[in-house]
Structure 1
Amino acid sequence: MSHKDTFPRQDTLGRYLLELAAVCGEFPSSLLPRIHDSSSYMEAVITSLKKEGLLRVFYKDRLRGFRLGRRAKGILLAENPERFSFYLTGDTDTNRIRSEVTRRMRLHRTAETYASMLNAGVAVFRDEKPPVFLLEAVPLPALKTPAFYGSREVKEMGIEMVKIRSSRMTGVLLAPSGIFLTYNSGPYMAKWDYRAEQRAQVLLRMVLCHQRMASQYARTEVSGLLFCNTLEPFYQILEEGDSHTRCFFLLDGNYEHFYYLTNDHYGDTLLKLLCDPVKTTELDNLLMQGFTPKDAGLPIEHDALDQNGNPVLFGYFLDIPRINRFHTALQLQGRKGILICFDFQKEVLHRFCGGQAEFSTISFEKFERRFFP
């Protein structure tokens, strides 16, 4: 039996793990439960890959991750160079992986983002999406399905992208619902370089909305998307809004929308919803039952009015600036409002604006069963 005969076939868990390790450089072991729900089967697959020399474990500074073996690199490159040569050739972080903890943590954050995207049905692999950021501009059709481009792919455009070198973004999500500059701070509070992130937003708007994808995104505002491991940083961002640690970049009008999702099944499902304007509209229409349409003249961020004329906000996407505008306006006008969210989001939202808002919750279990059976 040749070495090629022992290589995992397409559409198997073993092949999927190798491909993830290829595009991520190092795939953190902590992400394995998000890839497959059977720990015993996952362990058996990894053991087999390690035995064949296709996957190896790297452990240092209390970070444990999986990297491709040399033979796996060679076979993946030979079988699908279009998908893997960008990651497995040259002096890149995904090919010649450094051992410094900061570099490895950056790879791990990127891997978390890729896992979320793939679980939400977003195209990640280069042979499955249009080459939006190639140096040589090519005619591009409108995107009908969402696609994610990592920060290295964005920088393929060349010298102009030096302007966003200091940005902390992990990449850009392009979907029928919009453009989302994507960040992942894992278990930590994000640290923003105000000017670098502002430059990234302006440049991506120019490239995507006015140049390469103007036919689809000419009237689209660039939104933000922040992944974190828990909901606690979301509370801290809003609660510390008026302190010396104020998160200017998120709360001072740079973004109309900046969505907050968690690195787990909840986040994967909401990302799928965020990318699907048809399902989002369907959910909003369901939530409108019992309410009246919004009042365009009311100086409060809202989506509907209740029978007493109180503003109602659909807050289930945890849109940071939008929830902040809603809460601030209620405080300034001494009014009460209603905030609609998922059941797992209520506690953190109540801590922030429970004094100004009442809550109506959506059962996540029932929602998922209806919208994503």
Structure 2
Amino acid sequence: MDDKRRFPKQDTLGLHLLEMAAVCGELPTDLLTRLSGSSSYTETVITSLKKDGLLKTYYKDKLRGYRLGQRAKRILLERQPERFSFYLTGNVETNRIKSEVPRRIRLHRVAETYVAMQNAGIAVFRDGKPLVFSPGGSPVARLDSPAFYSSREVKEMGIETVKIRGSRMTGVLLAPSGVFISYNGGSHMLKWDYRAEQRAQALLQMVVCHQRLSAQHASTCVSGLLFGNDLEPFYRIFADSDTESRCFFLLDGNYEHFYYLTNDHYGDTLLKLLCSPEGTAELDHMLMQGFYPKDTGLPIEHDALDQNGNPVLFGYFLDIPRINRFHTALQLQERTGTLICFDFQKEVLHRFCGGQVGFSTISFEKITSRNLNECDSN
């Protein structure tokens, strides 16, 4: 009894840390700043968890992370087997963690993705979402709220997922607004296996859009989500477009939409907005004030026209192929246009396409707080 009395209670930071360590395998220490609570309080909680043998620090090869203690594993499994047995039993990466650097880095990238999803209000725990990728098929015809499934959960489908071996995806986000294959490069540029990623896209298109959630996503094209620690990898994707390291996978038409989000508060907030068709529509309606409707006959990607008839693109989601199509068309037709983005995005976008494109910025704090408050009330 005393063993469990010292275990963190429901809805506390201590329990949340243990739960995240359970599903991630290893929780990178620098992720603590993205969890709720002040840094001093979080440190106090961590110290208490370590003292009670529930959490331990693992440091090797300059990588530092938190792992569950055996007592924490046992109690979590006893209390909520439907949530944790998938991660804490058997010979799986999150239960029997390898020490090799590439394996640990992957666990850290997946952990960053989990935290981003949770911060955006997206379901990640198995008992809080329909098991869409179960071997027997999806138990639901549609999802009313967004849910994230790790790449290992996707592979539950069985033998057909051998087609995605080699893919760098961390998982799949399913939302009323779309189907998104998720990647996380951290502070580095991902090295894409072109064929493996094409196979992953095709498999998700078939399984999710045409089979398991066809009632909701039959006309949906799978999109991409790329997380990075800052905006420098986003810039490199465009800056290297005419070099041997060209990112063919992102720029050459494989995806109609592939969004870039940062592993921070900005990215968390935009991810929440991306999952809300109502919030996005409201923001677009606000941005249309002072502009004219788009010209469907104009051979340039755009959302509106300015008073001079020049194209305007709403680029605040940092949709890589869409921004590339806009900029390329302006260059080929020797025209100018306007790109609307958030204030924190302007600098990196100007570095890439400032010569051809003018910018109109919107306040991130003012716009997103208003729109997301409206989303939460719906």
TM-score (ref. length: structure 1): 0.99
**Could you tell me how far 1:138 is from its partner in structure 2?**
4.2
Residue-pair matches, total: 373
Q: Which residue of 2 aligns with 1:68?
A: 68
Q: Which residue of 1 aligns with 2:141?
A: 141
**Could you tell me how far 1:165 is from its partner in structure 2?**
1.0
Deviation by residue 1:313-366 (Cα, 9 ceiling, x = unmatched):
000000000000000000000000000000000000000000011100010111
CA distance, structure 1, for counterparts of residue 369 and residue 136 of structure 2 = 44
Q: Which residue of 2 aligns with 1:231?
A: 231
**Could you tell me how far 1:37 is from its partner in structure 2?**
4.2
Q: Which residue of 2 aligns with 1:287?
A: 287
CA distance, structure 1, for counterparts of residue 193 and residue 262 of structure 2 = 22
Q: Which residue of 1 aligns with 2:299?
A: 299
Are 1:41 and 2:2 matched, yes or no? Answer: no
TM-score (ref. length: structure 2): 0.98
Structure 1 SS opposite 2:270:
helix
Deviation by residue 1:253-304 (Cα, 9 ceiling, x = unmatched):
0000000000000000000000000000000000000000000000000000
CA distance, structure 2, for counterparts of residue 372 and residue 308 of structure 1 = 33
Q: Which residue of 2 aligns with 1:151?
A: 151
Spell out the pairing of 1:153-192 with structure 2 (5 A cutoff): 153-192=153-192
Q: Which residue of 1 aligns with 2:321?
A: 321
Deviation by residue 1:132-181 (Cα, 9 ceiling, x = unmatched):
00111244131111000000000000111011010000000000100000
Structure 1 SS opposite 2:313:
strand
Q: Which residue of 2 aligns with 1:111?
A: 111
Q: What is the identity, as a one-letter code, of the residue corresponding to 1:110? A: V
Structure 2 SS opposite 1:230:
coil
CA 1:272–1:67 in structure 2 vs 1: closer, same or farther (change >3 Å)?
same
CA distance, structure 1, for counterparts of residue 133 and residue 139 of structure 2 = 11
Q: What is the identity, as a one-letter code, of the residue corresponding to 1:14? A: G
Spell out the pairing of 1:1-373 with structure 2 (5 A cutoff): 2-373=2-373
**Could you tell me how far 1:239 is from its partner in structure 2?**
1.5
CA distance, structure 1, for counterparts of residue 284 and residue 123 of structure 2 = 26
Unaligned residue ranges in structure 2 (runs of 5+):
374-378
Structure 1 SS opposite 2:237:
helix
CA distance, structure 2, for counterparts of residue 175 and residue 137 of structure 1 = 18
**Could you tell me how far 1:372 is from its partner in structure 2?**
2.9
Q: What is the identity, as a one-letter code, of the residue corresponding to 2:88? A: L
**Could you tell me how far 1:77 is from its partner in structure 2?**
0.3
Q: What is the identity, as a one-letter code, of the residue corresponding to 1:367? A: I
CA distance, structure 1, for counterparts of residue 205 and residue 341 of structure 2 = 30
Structure 1: 4+ residue segments shifted above 2 A: none
CA distance, structure 1, for counterparts of residue 353 and residue 57 of structure 2 = 45
CA distance, structure 2, for counterparts of residue 145 and residue 228 of structure 1 = 25
Structure 2 SS opposite 1:370:
helix
Q: What is the identity, as a one-letter code, of the residue corresponding to 1:274? A: L
**Could you tell me how far 1:371 is from its partner in structure 2?**
1.9
Contact 2:131 2:139 in 1 (8 A): no
The percent of aligned pairs where both chains have the same amino acid is: 73
Deviation by residue 1:104-156 (Cα, 9 ceiling, x = unmatched):
00000000000000000000000000010011124413111100000000000
Q: What is the identity, as a one-letter code, of the residue corresponding to 2:8? A: P
Q: What is the identity, as a one-letter code, of the residue corresponding to 1:263? A: N
Unaligned residue ranges in structure 1 (runs of 5+):
none
Contact 2:132 2:139 in 1 (8 A): no
Deviation by residue 1:23-49 (Cα, 9 ceiling, x = unmatched):
000000000000024111000000000
Q: What is the identity, as a one-letter code, of the residue corresponding to 1:169? A: M
Taking only aligned residues, the RMSD between alpha carbons, in angstroms, comes to 0.8
CA distance, structure 2, for counterparts of residue 314 and residue 301 of structure 1 = 10
Structure 2 SS opposite 1:183:
strand
Q: What is the identity, as a one-letter code, of the residue corresponding to 1:66? A: Y
